[in-house]
Chains A and B, each alone.
Chain A
Amino acid sequence: MVTRLLRGAGFGLPLIPLIFLAVFFFYPLASIMLLSLAPEGRPDLSAFSTVLGTRRYLDTLWFTTWQALLSTLLTIGLALPGAYVFTRFRFPGKSLLLSLATLPFVLPTVVVAAAFTALVGPRGVVNEGLMSLLGMESPPVQLQRTLTLILIAHVFYNYAVALRMISGYWANQSTRIEEAARVLGCSGWRLWWEVRLPVLRPAILAAAVLVFIFTFTSFGVILILGGLRYATLEVEIYRQYNTFLNLPVAAALSLVQIGSMFAMMIVYTRLQRGIVVDLQSAQQVARKPRSRWDYTLLGANVLLMVLLLFTPLLALVHRALTVGGGLTLTHFSGLGENPRGSVLFVPPVIAVQNSLIFALVTTLLAVSLGVLTAYLLSRQRGRGRLSLTSWLDPLFMLPLATSAVTLGFGFIISMDRPPLDLRSSRILIPLAHTLVAMPFVVRSVLPALRSIAPNVREAASVLGAPPWAVWRYIDLPLISRAIIVGATFAFTVSMGEFGASLFVARPDTPTMPIVIFRLLGQPGIANYGQAMAMSVILMAVCAAAFVLIERLRRAGVGEF
């Protein structure tokens, strides 16, 4: 059965992700675009000239692009040394550190803003400390509503994406080339520049693309931390759809955003193609840090992670325990009470359960579809100048570049009759999450898949291994690390996402971020405290899940 399936895989299986994308992404997207740009059946493209002829929109596009570039460079630049440390060194607390680093990804921006205010706000810990220490009158650190804070927040959110994708890939690359280079006298910066970076290029580019798209479509960070002087296209699209119901302009802006992403992705797939691959893959063995230099590097990276990622998280925990008085667990117990007997009250257990169910369904869907996609794309590699990949690959990234409100409107107008009468269905949420999560799996698995030398598989076949055995004993061990990275992010995306859940009307199945969002929408210190407490629970559940995923990998196929 499995064998037949895998043989059939030549045709059928890899098409599944394409069909999924067509039904759940392109169909709703096309519906809302048609309704917006051709309401009477005749296309009216004047909105494009409005958008491209308005100074403000062009400024917005320009700002969106350069802040995304800057954020991406910063994130990759900071994560690269981290990836080195995590690949090469063995040290206590390593996997815990990696799990914690991934936590920011699930936190709603409002909550992160609260954490940053508690730390570096005018009355935050840092400023009060400095003021009493140096006897200053006014707060010395003024980060509120600055571009600096936007950039810090973007690194805060995306550091783990880069760190995990690069180190996950690196750990499977043989060190032989590097050793050869050393023997030939290459060291220091040259070693990085001429050996390590080229080896890592596929993973670095893949991570950079994700970070770029994420920061290009940044919404909450810009609005809440950056203040209102800054706006991205995403913000503008939201406004045009939600506030003004200006369908043509909103649609034109959405298409400009999607179009820019598509163009960028085509450049990316081109860059990816000329890559030196076919390395002999092998598991790298991490070693203990030895020299003073090793320890300095390790220490510096851990310190960076602590300062950048963990102090805000700690500030949140602190708030959850102290808001409205001394150290107390009231806010945690308060989450379970329903003093008003509200019909839509959500006990925290239910919110955790809903989040976990959505996240599990999303992870399963995203991993299976994502791995199939990666196979589809890896097979197309390098034939002819305009191979199918350079068109197909970008398509799978587009859901990330599409704003939640655009897709949400698309869903409600296109999924309203059988056989796709889904618009009020619970399944729509994991489906929407899968669209966003799949690119993470693809970006993570594809470089690993491409670096498997074909002759290894051929050798196995020649020696009589059936296709499933080739996959099980050659492919799977080599891509398992990448699958785990992809699965972790698929899970995380689903746990933290709440745009789709807000824009899709459905029977109430509130997730943790939704509960946080609703609590923060009401006055009263207990609501605020409970929102913080729920954020801490969200972090705890995710941390537990990361540890579990890591265990699964070790127990399963990872260590061969």
Chain B
Amino acid sequence: MKRTIMFLLALLLIVAPVAAQDDDTLVIVTYGSFAISEEVLEQFEEETGVTVQILRLSDTGNVVNQSILTRDNPLGDVMYGIDNTFLSRALDADLFIPYESPMLENVPDELQLDADEFYVTPVQYGDVCLNYDRAYFAENELNIPQSLEDLTLPAYRDMLVVQNPAASSPGLAFLIATIAVFGEDGDYTYLDYWAELTANGVLVVDGWSEAYYNEFTATGEGTYPLVVSYASSPPAEVFFASEELDEAPTGAIIADDTCFRQIEYTGILHNAANVEAAQQFIDFTLGVTWQEDLPLQMFVFPVNTEAELPDVFAEYAEIPDNPVVIDYRDIDEKREEWIEAWTDVVLR
């Protein structure tokens, strides 16, 4: 028995001391696709003397949920990248302490959703839009759909692949867009729309990767020339092409009322160990250096109006003028209800 105890103590000694955090370390909790340039992060570390540690989880939902479960003893100091679809869940759980960054002056007011409370600070945004396969549409002499209604036309039968809103954030964004456009009450609701889409052969797959790489015609052996993705996907196709391209192989449809804007925020976690460094970090993420680095790192757009876009974005990316409008507070509150109702219509 003694041996057993000693063995376990030894195991603990080997295992335990990794975690301890010292004063000038700032821990950022974020999702798996977070990226930033080495030199940008180094610049922050040099300017402030703070060491940054980045903890990445799978997706935003997971980041928010884990932070709620660990509210009193948080995983880190700053949450990076929570978007408007999860915002109210986090605010309701009282997850953040307020901070009004002086850098906000260059950020448009409409991006600050929790107006005047400053629990969170906008840092970047991206639009979830339909993407189409340019070659396919040209070869078949098809018009590009210009509204959500168009997608129910026989001309686009068996052409659209979307993601499961229960599992995928672009999937949820697209569902929200249809709810914003068709509404929940009245003669023709979003569910009627989805019934029509289903009848017109929409394919639902679980996640973005499967839709984009397995079913979409432009990127693999798929048979669907329309896919729900991001407005920034075409420039990404050019940037990550295997040879140099003059034109993106795909295009984003940015017509009015077809896109959903995901605005992403940073927030200082309740009981954060290093609040001062967290505030410095939030200021820095709004600065031009960080903001201009964002597009090519995460394929999102900067919130700072002073920031300039990199060439590939300036040339190939389009920003929708009028994405759909919906109250962010509804999104988390009704998420389960919407998804359940949607699942009943589309999958069962």
B-side interface residues, number (CB < 8 Å): 79
A503 proximity list for chain B (CB < 8 A): 57-58, 62, 66
B57 proximity list for chain A (CB < 8 A): 502-503, 505
Assess the B53–A507 pair: CB atoms within 8 A.
Answer: yes
Assess the A341–B38 pair: CB atoms within 8 A.
Answer: yes
- Interface core residue of B222, B239, B242 (most chain A CB under 10 Å): B242
Assess the B16–A418 pair: CB atoms within 8 A.
Answer: yes
State in angstroms the CA–CA spacing of A518 and B18 once bound together: 26
Contact residues of A between 501 and 560, Cβ < 8 Å to B: 502-503, 505-508, 514, 517-518, 520-529
Assess the A520–B213 pair: CB atoms within 8 A.
Answer: yes
State in angstroms the CA–CA spacing of A327 and B272 once bound together: 52
State in angstroms the CA–CA spacing of A8 and B38 once bound together: 54
Q: Tell whether B70 is near chain A: CB-to-CB under 8 Å.
A: yes
Known: A12-B4, A224-B210. A529 touches B56 (CB 8 A): no
Known: A343-B38, A412-B69. A330 touches B7 (CB 8 A): no
Count of A-B contacts judged by CB separation below 8 Å = 211
Assess the A244–B336 pair: CB atoms within 8 A.
Answer: yes
Residue of A nearest to B208 (CB): A521
B239 proximity list for chain A (CB < 8 A): 524
Contact residues of B between 40 and 59, Cβ < 8 Å to A: 40-41, 53-59
Assess the B166–A243 pair: CB atoms within 8 A.
Answer: yes
Residue of B nearest to A330 (CB): B242
Q: Tell whether A110 is near chain B: CB-to-CB under 8 Å.
A: yes
State in angstroms the CA–CA spacing of A417 and B57 once bound together: 20
Assess the A507–B212 pair: CB atoms within 8 A.
Answer: no
Assess the B32–A521 pair: CB atoms within 8 A.
Answer: yes
Selected contact of A344 from candidates B35, B39, B164, B220, CB within 8 Å: B35
Selected contact of B223 from candidates A122, A328, A508, CB within 8 Å: A122
Selected contact of A421 from candidates B19, B61, B221, B241, CB within 8 Å: B19
State in angstroms the CA–CA spacing of A330 and B244 once bound together: 13
B280 proximity list for chain A (CB < 8 A): none
Assess the B299–A523 pair: CB atoms within 8 A.
Answer: yes
Q: Tell whether B106 is near chain A: CB-to-CB under 8 Å.
A: no
A16 proximity list for chain B (CB < 8 A): 4, 7-8
Q: Tell whether B167 is near chain A: CB-to-CB under 8 Å.
A: yes
Give the size category of A's interface with B: 35 or more
Residue of B nearest to A324 (CB): B242
A422 proximity list for chain B (CB < 8 A): 15-16, 18-19
Residue of A nearest to B239 (CB): A524
- Interface core residue of A243, A405, A417, A520 (most chain B CB under 10 Å): A243
Q: Tell whether A11 is near chain B: CB-to-CB under 8 Å.
A: yes
**Interface residues as binary, B89-110 with A (CB distance below 8 Å gives 1, 0 otherwise):** 1000000000000000000000
A385 proximity list for chain B (CB < 8 A): none
Stretch from A90-98, A112-120, A156-164, A191-199 contacting the other chain: A112-120
Q: Tell whether B347 is near chain A: CB-to-CB under 8 Å.
A: yes
State in angstroms the CA–CA spacing of A503 and B3 once bound together: 33
Assess the A229–B32 pair: CB atoms within 8 A.
Answer: no
Residue of B nearest to A9 (CB): B3
Q: Tell whether B75 is near chain A: CB-to-CB under 8 Å.
A: yes
Contact residues of B between 1 and 47, Cβ < 8 Å to A: 1-4, 7-8, 12, 14-16, 18-20, 29, 32-41
Assess the B242–A505 pair: CB atoms within 8 A.
Answer: no
Assess the B33–A522 pair: CB atoms within 8 A.
Answer: yes
6 further contact pairs, Cβ within 8 A, besides A419-B12, A423-B19: A11-B1, A228-B204, A245-B65, A323-B242, A424-B75, A528-B213
Query: Which A residues are closer than 8 A to B by beta carbons?
Result: 5, 8, 11-13, 15-16, 19, 23, 35, 110, 113-114, 117-118, 121-124, 223-224, 227-229, 239, 241-246, 323-325, 328, 330-331, 340-345, 405, 409, 412-413, 416-427, 502-503, 505-508, 514, 517-518, 520-529
Query: Which B residues are closer than 8 A to A by beta carbons?
Result: 1-4, 7-8, 12, 14-16, 18-20, 29, 32-41, 53-59, 61-62, 64-66, 68-70, 73, 75-76, 89, 164, 166-167, 204-210, 212-214, 219-223, 229-230, 233, 236-237, 239-243, 296-297, 299, 335-336, 339, 347-348
- Which 5 A-B residue pairs are closest in the complex by CB-CB distance? A524-B240, A324-B242, A502-B58, A505-B55, A523-B236
Q: Could you pull out 8 A-B pairs where Cβ atoms are within 8 angstroms?
A: A223-B206, A243-B166, A243-B167, A325-B243, A344-B34, A413-B69, A505-B57, A507-B53
